[in-house]
Amino acid sequence: MDESVTTANILIIDDDRKLGEMLKEYLEPEHLAVVACLSGEEGIEALKAGSFQLVILDIMLPGMSGLDALKKIRAISDIPTIMLTAKGDDVDRILGLELGADDYLAKPFNPRELLARIKAILRRATVGVAPAHRLATGQIELDVRAQKVTAGTTPIRLTGTEFELLRWLAESPGDIVSKDDLSEKALGRRLMPYDRSIDTHVSNVRRKLKDAGVSSPSIQSRRGVGYCLLVDD
């Protein structure tokens, strides 16, 4: 048993009952309490009623689709969410990330890989117990302990992954950070070939900064290399 794993409550929303039971058996010895729901509607109600630290959400659900369920989740919570997608289903994968999923995993998957993704996200969440640390850059300020971003007095809602991505760019304004490094820091995993996760998360952050009226800093791409955060003089 891995004593380093943070005790957490995990909500699984997947209509595959056997998969839910298998994941429960696999995850609970790792100090992860699991509640499994078979539909989006049931999962949303469980999320409202319970206290969870992470959601595992299947895209292919009966009735309310996984994407619609994710929209409803994001309307009420910034809880980290891992999407389960069909292998090779790039469109749904990108849509899920655009709607606010933190990461994804294609079925069929090795439970050890899912556990690694869960650990990475929960490890990131424990940043909140670190000493107070604030980053001011351009028109925004990042509170690293609370994982919050504000533009003046206006809060900017980011998912945990989006916050980590912006944070690591803000740590070294003007410096190019490779996509591989951003994936390791924001997702806690290596970037896979043809993986557009970082690009999609960057697009989300850009949109949210723009919607908040923030013109500086801006995230600039360096084709084939990575991204950098530029602050206007």
Candidates 3.40.50.2300, 3.20.20.140, 1.10.150.20, 3.40.50.150; CATH matching 8-126 = 3.40.50.2300
Q: What is the pLDDT of residues 171-190, one digit of tens each?
A: 999 999 999 999 999 998 88
pLDDT digits (tens, 9 = 90+) for 87-128: 667 888 899 999 999 999 999 999 999 999 999 888 876 654
- pLDDT of 7: 79
Other Cβ atoms less than 10 A from the Cβ of 126: the count is 9
> How many helices (H) does the chain have, and how many strands (E)?
8, 12
Which uninterrupted H or E stretch holds 178? Answer: strand 177-178
Read off the tokens for 82. Answer: 């891992």
In angstroms, the CA 99 to CA 71 distance is 7
What is the pLDDT, as a whole number, of residue 96?
93
The rounded distance, in Å, linking the Cα atoms of 71 and 200 is 16
List pLDDT tens digits, range 29-67. Answer: 999 999 999 999 999 999 999 999 999 999 999 999 999
Phi, psi dihedral angles at 82 (to 5 degrees): -105, 125
For residue 86, the model assigns a pLDDT of 82
User: What is d(CA 229, CA 174) in angstroms, rounded to the nearest whole number?
Assistant: 5
Range(s) within the chain of domains with CATH label 1.10.10.10: 130-230
Alpha helices in the chain (DSSP H): 17-27, 40-49, 66-76, 90-98, 111-125, 160-171, 179-182, 197-211
Q: Would you say residue 2 has pLDDT above 50?
A: no
- Per-residue model confidence (pLDDT) at position 226: 95
pLDDT digits (tens, 9 = 90+) for 185-208: 999 888 888 888 999 999 999 999
Q: What is the pLDDT of residue 194?
A: 82
| Among candidate residues 61, 55, 54, 2, the one with its CA nearest the CA of residue 26 | 2
CATH code reported for the domain at 130-230? 1.10.10.10
Residue 39 is predicted with a pLDDT of 97
Q: Where in the chain is the domain with CATH 3.40.50.2300?
A: 8-126
